[in-house]
Amino acid sequence: SEGGISGGASAMHRAAVRVPARIAHLLRRQPQLVAPAVEAFYGRDAAAMKAASRMELFPAEDMVMVSITFNRALYAQLKQQEFQGLPGFPLPATGSPDFPAAELGMKVTAGF
């Protein structure tokens, strides 16, 4: 384990998410932004969700798929949180193969 990075890759998780194009652009340029977005989503309150539900900065018009690298703790926080959804955020049916990426993307979007 040269350089002290043993176990680093196993502590990371890549997942496909469907997000507004503006968020995808931000995450491609600055992937470290996923951590504060997940933390903001996880620690959300009613006022934060009211602001997020307006989706003024990141409208759900131009949705794209992007692959995000999370540390396992952030991924678990995002995956396990119950969330009723964002008005206007398009979600496929829960049985659809696209649902997991859309649901994760909605949670990431809410964090932004």
As a whole number, mean pLDDT of residues 46-68 equals: 77
Q: Are 22 and 58 contacting, i.e. CB atoms less than 8 angstroms apart?
A: yes
Average pLDDT, stretch 69-81?
91
Residue 100 is inside which H or E element, if any?
helix 99-111
Whole-model pTM: value is 0.81
Query: What percentage of the chain carries pLDDT values higher than 70?
Result: 83
Note the pLDDT of residue 51. Answer: 67
Q: Residue 53: its pLDDT value, please?
A: 67
User: Could you report the per-residue pLDDT of 7-45, keeping only the tens digit for each?
Assistant: 455 688 899 999 999 999 999 999 999 999 999 888 887
